[in-house]
């Protein structure tokens, strides 16, 4: 591991000032479960690590009049065990419990999960300088791409690995971004950015900015939701495909619906065409098939990952039927 300095800001303002002023490459460390791996392998090289552990006010789940505020430094285990989350946002709890291992959930944080770097094996290999690391080629495009994107690729075919992101986006969460000039709030869906915008990063955070919290709106009357994650192994694993469904169900019909997939695109992937097909009609397997077929018209599978199309149907069927029940 290359040497780096560590700073331990005490407040969000101190953190924002530090990030804005520092000239050398800087990384934020929350639980460190992803970042330390990147530093040890040499995939990430920084001069300064800003440790977020001591920053006041970044951890905790706080009920607000219009929903729940979840601080970026909230540990995933605390999210999974929170009574309000279990009562009002069961799909978020399912997503939290589905990710990694108990040990990692004890240390990893919500902000770290939402800002974690991709798992593409070419990206994680320090010897490979692919397009995401400033090179010219995407080696996954014609190489080994079993775990890569079927939607939204182009210059880079990573899949965004977070389990929390699809669940939170389906629930209408917003992200608060801390900056030296004050906070800014965006829908969490818009927090993520496709490789075409900047292949080197997965979100819209500019230099000097950090994720402060996410806010989930209060559940509407009749709101139902489910999160389904399909993995290759029974033990811990990242999603091959995951589906988060949330909506308002009246008599077996979704009056409102939001569908977000994980494991299929460089960002959490909203299936608006499937939402349109599912909204306002009695839920059935045939309707879900029709909705998925419509959505898959936008898919461009690579040589080794065409199987993901079948998994999209399997995950969505299970999630839609569970939410509608
Ligand atoms: C073996 C293993 C299995 C895993 N399985 C899963 C899984 O199944 N599903 C899943 O979703 N994840 C999985 N993960 C990823 C894991 O969830 C994340 O590593 C963890 O949530 C990251 O949290 P952290 O606090 O440790 O982040 P860190 O490692 O501290 O940070 C991760 C990244 O986010 C940045 N960051 C952290 N906090 C902020 C912030 N507030 N603002 C801006 N940037 C920030 C850091 O700079 C870094 O680049 C797995 C990880 C491992 C090692
Ligand atoms: S998918 Fe992205 S990270 Fe992976 S090799 Fe291609 S450019 Fe690099």
Ligand 2 centre and the CA of 279: distance in Å?
35
pLDDT-derived band at 25 (thresholds 50, 70, 90) equals very high
Q: pLDDT tens digit string along 198-250?
A: 999 999 999 999 999 999 999 999 999 999 999 999 999 999 999 999 999 99
User: So what's the pLDDT on residue 10?
Assistant: 98
DSSP reduced 3-state for 256: strand
User: So what's the pLDDT on residue 85?
Assistant: 98
Residues within 6 Å of ligand 1 by CB: 27-35, 52, 72, 76, 99-100, 104, 107-109, 111-113, 115-117, 161-163, 205, 210-211, 236, 238
In the predicted model, is pLDDT for residue 2 greater than 90? Answer: no
Cα separation, 156 vs 317, in Å, equals 28
Q: Give the position, in ligand 1's atom list, of the atom nearest the Cα of 98.
A: 8
| Ligand that comes closest to the CA of residue 175 | 1
DSSP reduced 3-state for 42: coil
Q: pLDDT tens digit string along 168-193?
A: 999 999 999 999 999 999 999 999 99
In the predicted model, is pLDDT for residue 255 greater than 90? Answer: yes
Cα separation, 115 vs 237, in Å, equals 18
User: So what's the pLDDT on residue 1?
Assistant: 81
Ligand 2 centre and the CA of 122: distance in Å?
6
Cα separation, 71 vs 291, in Å, equals 35
Name the one residue in this structure whose structure tokens are 């065990």.
81
Task: Specify the range with the lowest mean pLDDT, choosing from 1-5, 52-56, 131-135, 251-255.
Answer: 1-5
Ligand 1 centre and the CA of 281: distance in Å?
38
Of 92, 81, 80, 75, whose CA–CA distance to 219 is shortest? 92
Structural domains of the chain sorted by starting position, each given as residue range(s) with its CATH number in brackets: 223-324 (3.30.390.50)
pLDDT-derived band at 281 (thresholds 50, 70, 90) equals very high
User: So what's the pLDDT on residue 142?
Assistant: 94
Of 92, 95, 51, whose CA–CA distance to 73 is shortest? 51
Q: pLDDT tens digit string along 111-145?
A: 999 999 999 999 999 999 999 999 999 999 999 99
In the predicted model, is pLDDT for residue 24 greater than 90? Answer: yes
Q: Give the position, in ligand 2's atom list, of the atom nearest the Cα of 120.
A: 4
Q: Give the position, in ligand 1's atom list, of the atom nearest the Cα of 205.
A: 43
């Amino acid at each position: 591991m290359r040497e780096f300095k560590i700073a331990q800001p005490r407040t969000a303002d101190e953190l924002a000032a530090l990030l804005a002023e520092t000239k050398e490459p800087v990384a934020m460390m929350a639980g460190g479960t992803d970042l330390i791996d990147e530093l040890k392998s040499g995939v990430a090289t920084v001069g300064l690590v800003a440790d977020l552990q001591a920053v006041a006010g970044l951890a905790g789940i706080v009920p607000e009049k219009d929903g729940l505020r979840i601080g970026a430094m909230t540990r995933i285990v605390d999210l999974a065990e929170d009574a309000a989350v279990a009562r009002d946002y069961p799909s978020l709890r399912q997503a939290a419990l589905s990710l990694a291992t108990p040990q990692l959930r004890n240390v990893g944080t919500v902000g770290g999960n939402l800002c974690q770097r991709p798992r593409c094996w070419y990206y994680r290999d320090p010897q490979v300088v692919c397009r995401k690391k400033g090179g010219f080629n995407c080696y996954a495009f014609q190489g080994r791409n079993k775990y890569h994107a079927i939607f939204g690729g182009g210059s880079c075919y990573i899949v965004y690995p977070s389990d929390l992101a699809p669940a939170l986006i389906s629930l209408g969460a917003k992200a608060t971004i801390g900056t030296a000039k004050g906070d800014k709030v965006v829908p969490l869906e818009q927090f993520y950015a496709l490789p075409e915008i900047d292949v080197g990063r997965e979100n819209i955070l500019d230099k000097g900015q950090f994720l402060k919290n996410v806010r989930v709106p209060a559940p509407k009357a009749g709101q139902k939701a489910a999160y389904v994650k399909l993995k290759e192994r029974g033990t811990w694993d990242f999603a091959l495909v995951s589906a988060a469904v949330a909506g308002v169900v009246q008599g077996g019909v979704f009056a409102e619906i939001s569908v977000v997939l994980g494991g299929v695109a460089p960002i959490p992937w909203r299936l608006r065409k499937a939402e349109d097909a599912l909204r306002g009609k009695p839920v059935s397997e045939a309707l879900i098939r029709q909705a998925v077929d419509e959505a898959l018209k936008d898919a461009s599978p690579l040589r080794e990952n065409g199987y993901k199309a079948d998994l999209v149907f399997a995950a969505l069927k299970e999630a839609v039927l569970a939410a509608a029940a």
